[in-house]
């Protein structure tokens, strides 16, 4: 198939400029800082040595201005939320244990103090947190409750002018808590606040867990989670509290407070709504995970594509052995994956920008929509990382299995990204729920009960009022396959039309929920998840198209257009059964989609190296022996 | 959708009897032996301690009759090829390093001596190999040649009545060789045999590599491959030879010999054909990998399904928290995967039986077909292991990421299965080639050149002469969706029809190869791979159907019928775009396929535990703390 042309050669720096986007200056600065630091591959270290190395690296990092970026300038922070998230993203190029440890310390622990606390907490803790004089934990997940955090069972009961924090049983043990097993001195503990005999829902409390010497404080039991699949430089542990007393001021009281007499007050009346508002303020962590998953993916693809250009196997008719990236099957493994990595990058860039710009005065729907966007992108970006890094490992054969070639650690470290900061399956349900309710419903309450009741009680009219994208897409299908396929407008309308159709279908199914809420919800669950996914895919394509429009250089722009085409057409190919089954593509055109993907692979093959070089990953993170021998 | 009924409860032992198949007695014996042995989880061991533990376990294993099963009874072996492969399969339930180490020692090293050597080698080595008095390596892969083993570059040059083994450069270094870094004393080295100034292709030689004390012998350089993603209990290393002299008798001379005067002789004239015949005799290793990939998959699914039955999250309308396997999305993650695991098990069982029964007098086409079958099943079984174990890990959330819960090691250890014993992508090409040539062509020569030339020179008539399955399938599509979908005959014909169509399409494409052999081959590569895959999927479904017919108990049989339906219908769902795009299913029926898969998930949900219990995995390999707390 005839694909629109691209120049023979494009300078990767021109692409880097587009990729770097709004925080380009910060990215350049971080790269310069990184260039000074040697990559210390932890592969030969045991768990304790790895943890020690990561803590050392964390202390080195604390000497830069990056940890403070997300904090209040009044206490020495940078007040630059987008820059902070971007800086976490770039930590994803190195040892991911360091990224996670930094994320726990400054993103989760520090972020909770900043965003859930008030001046008294900021004054007391923020500088110490930024400078690592206080290492802390974010103790939310419990053994029995991970996704369903609203039903955590640790309690914080007001008594004698303070709170008593208590773990009622083994299922309420705080689980997988980073910084807990070794380094943390304090924890932000999420617990059911009880005062006057009444529970007011989950709140966060500052609870000291170790003394200066590192010994657990009285009433606090700490257990090491032991070896993990990866991220062994992070000291994850379990925390249990046996009637631990903390002062009244330990409550992070931005969204709810208890007076000296035990009276509870809050600007938000509903316990549930208050809790999900609190959670909503903490989305930076989720956004950072999506970003660093992207960095790990880029690194894996850079390694695999470089290897694909040096590794030869089997002779051609002219006698030369073929470079394996010249095989279509190899291109098919890596290039659509690379295109999707570009697409997700631009979507992430857009999300970070939105996160940076939103303020407290924004309408609640805008906040909910941002949370949905963050949840959906986290799910897609982390699943993409898992499959892309797997593909990269396989594409490097036996060499990819040797630790020295860096892919094993990338695979093992990122594997849990699909689970932590929100299980992906649960997050996609959250996205779908937002779509169906136009972001007007209590948002994070994801129980089947709440969801099903909502639909049983309401007429889901909003989704049905939308204008149909289908007519728009039909007008764009006139022409030869090549003419149609490379129209961005056609691709966008096709994605939009699919989303409308799927969301409407889900709404219709769920409206029957009155009779058997759980049964109806459960029977529609695969459609619910599809709705979430296709919505995010549409956002991603839109973001890619918008990013291209910011590229001034015509050559670089032409190349990005084709990468975007490859993302769009391979996403269509992945979901071809839907497009065929719903009459959106004819059988002939469906076959042509596959031909177009193949043609784009052939066309982009000579640019593969340029496309990964444009990520500008510091070279020390790509120093795999397989590339030089 | 109405699914045919199954009894409320089925005794897992009835299913075990069907799964155990022809080597049931041996399986029971191995289980009894395994029950005596404690599972020593290597997770807390460093590399050297892990290697030492695996060697100890190997010595314990050597005391049983299992290692000898595949060897000649004249030297104390069992003469039971099928039993030998089944015994390797069952090692796949434990530490996979032990399975691989045993496979290297007895399968690859011992197997090469048995199958490529003659009486003088058997007499001298077999007892020592079985009893571990001689530990050895299988030194085939080189740094520069992995898939393309015909072009290995190590040489064995006849001179002064013996051979000189030499590594000409770094690319000819033997790479990833198991038993090389620590324990091996000897290696079967594959090298280009040169005599009288003429190269006669790749042959195998017995080359001592270490003295009794374990020091490398003069001229032999040994390097450790270092840490790997997994399988760290296996001492993989690199071997280089600097003009190492070995006696003439060191040549494993079943398929080619050199006389004292240097004259070469062989029963097979063509160098290439001889080499691929030699390789063909070594397929037991490939079959064993498919089998042990299956065991690892079963273990991962047994863990995930047990967890899915104890883990609860989110409350139902009646207040109880929902067991997560009750969610459709969770069933969708695990149950079609479980059904495919059953299907691959029965296909493996059939393959092992064929391997056991074939003898030297079988027509060459039958041998080639068996090799193709082994290659294809290895590819599908190991890709399935990678994705199923990934799904199992994700289905266990954070608990699945902790080493104590066993899934991390399963993931890391099996990851290379898609690469070793033949890269899966290359293996599927081999399958396709066999289909296109009716197994009459020099088989393992997979270079694009050879393949393309073949098609340029021949009229590919065989595939076109076949009777069309399409008419047969059309007659079977009459009736309601439920009537049609649960007809085994319809499923089988649908798979057969797809295979015929895809293979014909590839033949048509490749017949244009004369003009530009590499270009035409490469442009069709995705179709070639599809041909290989759909062929194996048809074999797998056929094997499942045949196994069910061996089940006498009506209840167990009814349950297996539904598991087979779930395999068939979810495979159709995975390839729905093809069936729709080629007019094999209407849009309405395609949607109904998804509904049928959902209905089967709901129906099989109460039997999930029974289905994994039927694997009869020794309990000590399922002792994950997440299942009891």
Contacts of B397 in chain A (CB under 8 A): 146-147, 419, 423
Dihedral sign of CA atoms A403, A405, A407, A413 in order: positive
State the span(s) of chain B assigned CATH 1.10.540.10. 19-134
Q: From A410, which residue of chain B is nearest by alpha-carbon distance?
A: B229
> What is the model's pLDDT at position B163?
98
State in words which class domain A21-135 has. mainly alpha
> What is the model's pLDDT at position A443?
47
Q: From B421, which residue of chain A is nearest by alpha-carbon distance?
A: A398
Q: Does domain B19-134 have CATH number 1.10.540.10?
A: yes
The DSSP bridge partners found for residue A195 are: A198
Q: Among A328, A386, A525, select the one facing B390 at the smallest CB separation.
A: A386
Burial per residue of A615-628, b for 16 or more beta-carbon CB atoms within 10 angstroms, e otherwise: bbbbeebbebebbe
A390 touches chain B (CB under 8 A): yes
Question: In CATH, which superfamily holds the domain spanning A284-619?
Answer: Butyryl-CoA Dehydrogenase, subunit A, domain 3 (1.20.140.10)
Q: From A581, which residue of chain B is nearest by alpha-carbon distance?
A: B587
A478 touches chain B (CB under 8 A): no
> Are A522 and B328 a contacting pair at CB < 8 A?
yes
Is the separation of the CB atoms in B510 and B521 below 8 Å?
Answer: yes
Contacts of B400 in chain A (CB under 8 A): 419
Q: What is the mean pLDDT of residues A333-340?
A: 98
A397 touches chain B (CB under 8 A): yes
B336 touches chain A (CB under 8 A): no
Q: From B173, which residue of chain A is nearest by alpha-carbon distance?
A: A629
CA distance B580 to chain A (A): 7
As a dihedral over the C-alpha atoms of residue A61, residue A64, residue A65, residue A68, rounded to 10 degrees, the angle is 30
pLDDT of residue A465 exceeding 60, the answer is no
State the span(s) of chain B assigned CATH 2.40.110.10. 137-270
Q: Which of A176, A315, A581 to mutate to test the interface with B (most CBs of B within 10 A)?
A: A581
Q: From A325, which residue of chain B is nearest by alpha-carbon distance?
A: B522
B412 touches chain A (CB under 8 A): yes
> Are A403 and B226 a contacting pair at CB < 8 A?
yes
Measured distance CA(A394)–CA(A412) in Å, rounded: 14
A173 touches chain B (CB under 8 A): no
A601-619 residue pLDDT tens: 999 999 999 999 999 999 9
More confident residue, A148 or B442: A148
B93 touches chain A (CB under 8 A): no
Give the DSSP per-residue string, A497-549: HHHHHHHHHHHHHHTTTTT-HHHHHHHTHHHHHHHHHHHHHHHHHHHHHHHHT
Q: What percent of chain A has pLDDT over 90?
A: 86
Q: Among A327, A386, A522, select the one facing B525 at the smallest CB separation.
A: A327
For the domain made up of B282-619, give the CATH fold: Butyryl-CoA Dehydrogenase, subunit A; domain 3 (1.20.140)
Structure tokens belonging to residue B411: 């993931």
Contacts of B522 in chain A (CB under 8 A): 326-328
**What is the bridge-based pairing of β-strands B186-195 and B136-139?**
parallel
> What is the model's pLDDT at position B461?
47
State the span(s) of chain A assigned CATH 1.20.140.10. 284-619
> Are A143 and B629 a contacting pair at CB < 8 A?
yes
Q: What is the mean pLDDT of residues A447-463?
A: 57
A519 touches chain B (CB under 8 A): no
Mean pLDDT, chain A, rounded, equals 94
Contacts of A176 in chain B (CB under 8 A): 398
> Are B229 and A407 a contacting pair at CB < 8 A?
yes
A329 touches chain B (CB under 8 A): yes
A594 touches chain B (CB under 8 A): yes
Contacts of A314 in chain B (CB under 8 A): 147-148, 446-449
Question: Which residues does chain B have with pLDDT short of 50?
Answer: 443, 459, 461-465
Which 8-state DSSP code applies to residue A438? T
Contacts of A589 in chain B (CB under 8 A): none
The ipTM estimated for the assembled molecules is 0.96
pLDDT of residue A192 exceeding 90, the answer is yes
Measured distance CA(A86)–CA(A288) in Å, rounded: 8
State the span(s) of chain A assigned CATH 2.40.110.10. 137-258
> Among the listed ranges A51-55, A240-244, A515-519, B2-6, which one has the minimum average pLDDT value?
A515-519
State the span(s) of chain B assigned CATH 1.20.140.10. 282-619
Is the separation of the CB atoms in A566 and A336 below 8 Å?
Answer: yes
Q: Among A146, A176, A576, select the one facing B577 at the smallest CB separation.
A: A576
Give the DSSP per-residue string, B523-591: HTHHHHHHHHHHHHHHHHHHHHHHHHTT---HHHHHHHHHHHHHHHHHHHHHTHHHHHHTTSS-HHHHH
Q: Among A386, A517, A580, select the one facing B580 at the smallest CB separation.
A: A580
Contacts of B385 in chain A (CB under 8 A): none
Contacts of B417 in chain A (CB under 8 A): none
Burial of A248 (0-12, 13-18, 19+ CB in 10 A): middle
The DSSP bridge partners found for residue B199 are: B194
> Are A447 and B576 a contacting pair at CB < 8 A?
no
The DSSP bridge partners found for residue B321 are: B315
> What is the model's pLDDT at position A391?
98
> What is the model's pLDDT at position A466?
53
Q: Which of B171, B226, B314, B445 to mutate to test the interface with A (most CBs of A within 10 A)?
A: B314
A476-512 residue pLDDT tens: 999 999 999 999 999 999 999 999 999 999 988 988 8
pLDDT of residue A444 exceeding 70, the answer is no
> Are A314 and B147 a contacting pair at CB < 8 A?
yes
Contacts of A145 in chain B (CB under 8 A): 313
More confident residue, A434 or A541: A541
Q: Which of residues 37-66 of B touch A (CB under 8 A)?
A: 43-44, 46
Q: Which of residues 231-270 of A touch B (CB under 8 A)?
A: none
pTM: 0.96
For the domain made up of A137-258, give the CATH fold: Butyryl-CoA Dehydrogenase, subunit A; domain 2 (2.40.110)
Structure tokens belonging to residue B243: 């003009």
> Are A317 and B386 a contacting pair at CB < 8 A?
no
Read off φ and ψ for residue B300, nearest 5 degrees: -60, -40
B22 touches chain A (CB under 8 A): no
Q: Which of B177, B401, B408, B591 to mutate to test the interface with A (most CBs of A within 10 A)?
A: B401
Q: Which of B99, B383, B225, B48 is nearest to A403 (CA)?
A: B225
A379-399 residue pLDDT tens: 999 999 999 999 999 999 999
> Are B329 and A425 a contacting pair at CB < 8 A?
yes
Is the separation of the CB atoms in B222 and B238 below 8 Å?
Answer: yes
Q: Does domain B137-270 have CATH number 2.40.110.10?
A: yes
Burial of A59 (0-12, 13-18, 19+ CB in 10 A): exposed
Q: From A173, which residue of chain B is nearest by alpha-carbon distance?
A: B629
> What is the model's pLDDT at position B201?
96
> Are B581 and A583 a contacting pair at CB < 8 A?
no
């Amino acid at each position: 198939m005839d694909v629109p042309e691209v120049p023979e050669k494009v300078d990767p720096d021109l692409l880097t400029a587009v990729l770097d986007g709004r925080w380009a200056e910060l990215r350049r600065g971080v790269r310069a800082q990184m260039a000074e630091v040697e990559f210390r591959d932890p592969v030969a270290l045991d768990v304790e040595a790895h943890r020690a190395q990561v803590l050392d690296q964390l202390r080195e990092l604390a000497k830069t201005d990056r940890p403070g970026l997300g904090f209040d300038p009044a206490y020495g922070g940078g007040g630059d939320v987008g820059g902070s998230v971007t800086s976490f993203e770039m930590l994803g190029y190195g040892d991911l244990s360091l990224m996670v440890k930094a994320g726990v310390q400054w993103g989760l622990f520090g972020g909770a103090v900043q965003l859930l606390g008030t001046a008294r907490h900021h004054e007391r803790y923020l500088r110490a947190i930024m400078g690592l004089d206080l290492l802390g934990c974010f103790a939310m997940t419990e053994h029995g409750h991970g996704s369903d955090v609203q039903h955590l069972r640790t309690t914080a009961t007001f008594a004698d002018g303070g709170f008593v924090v208590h773990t009622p049983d083994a299922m309420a043990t705080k689980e997988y808590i980073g910084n807990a097993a070794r380094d943390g001195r304090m924890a932000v503990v999420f617990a059911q606040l009880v005062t006057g005999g009444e529970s007011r829902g989950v709140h966060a409390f500052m609870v000291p867990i170790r003394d200066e010497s590192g010994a657990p404080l009285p009433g606090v039991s700490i257990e090491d989670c032991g070896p993990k699949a990866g991220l062994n430089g992070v000291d994850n542990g379990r925390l249990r509290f046996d009637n631990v007393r903390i002062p009244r001021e330990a409550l992070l009281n931005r969204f709810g407070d208890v007076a000296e007499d035990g009276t509870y007050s809050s600007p938000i009346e509903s316990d549930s709504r208050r809790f999900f508002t609190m959670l909503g303020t903490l989305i930076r962590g989720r956004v950072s995970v999506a970003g660093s998953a992207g960095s790990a993916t880029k690194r894996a693809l850079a390694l695999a594509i470089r290897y694909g250009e040096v590794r030869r196997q089997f002779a051609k008719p002219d006698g030369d052995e073929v470079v394996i990236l010249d095989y279509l099957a190899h291109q098919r493994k890596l290039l659509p994956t690379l295109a999707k990595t570009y697409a997700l990058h631009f979507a992430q860039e857009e999300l970070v920008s939105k996160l940076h710009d939103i303020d407290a005065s924004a309408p609640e729907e805008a906040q909910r929509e941002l949370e949905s966007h963050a949840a959906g992108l986290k799910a897609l970006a982390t699943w993409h990382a898992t499959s892309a890094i797997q593909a990269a490992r396989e594409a490097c054969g036996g060499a990819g299995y040797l630790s020295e070639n860096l892919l094993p650690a990338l695979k093992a470290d990122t594997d849990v990204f699909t689970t932590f900061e929100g299980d992906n399956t649960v997050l996609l349900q959250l996205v779908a729920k937002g779509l169906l309710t136009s972001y007007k419903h209590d948002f994070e309450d994801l129980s089947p009960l709440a969801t099903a009741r909502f639909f049983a009680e309401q007429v889901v009219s909003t989704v049905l009022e939308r204008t149909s994208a289908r007519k728009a897409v039909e007008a764009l299908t006139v022409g030869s396959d090549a003419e149609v396929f490379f129209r961005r407008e056609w691709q966008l309308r096709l994605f939009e039309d699919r989303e409308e159709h799927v969301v409407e279908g889900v709404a219709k199914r769920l409206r029957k929920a009155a009779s058997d809420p759980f049964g109806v919800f459960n029977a529609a669950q695969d459609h619910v998840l599809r709705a979430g996914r296709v919505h995010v895919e549409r956002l991603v394509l839109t973001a890619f198209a918008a990013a291209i429009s910011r590229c001034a250089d015509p050559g670089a722009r032409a190349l990005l257009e084709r990468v975007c085409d490859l993302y769009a057409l391979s996403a269509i190919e992945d979901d071809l059964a839907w497009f065929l089954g719903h009459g959106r593509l004819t059988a002939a055109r469906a076959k042509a989609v596959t031909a177009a993907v193949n043609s784009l692979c052939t066309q982009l093959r000579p640019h593969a190296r340029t496309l990964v070089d444009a990520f500008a990953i510091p070279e020390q993170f790509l120093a795999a022996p397989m590339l030089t021998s």
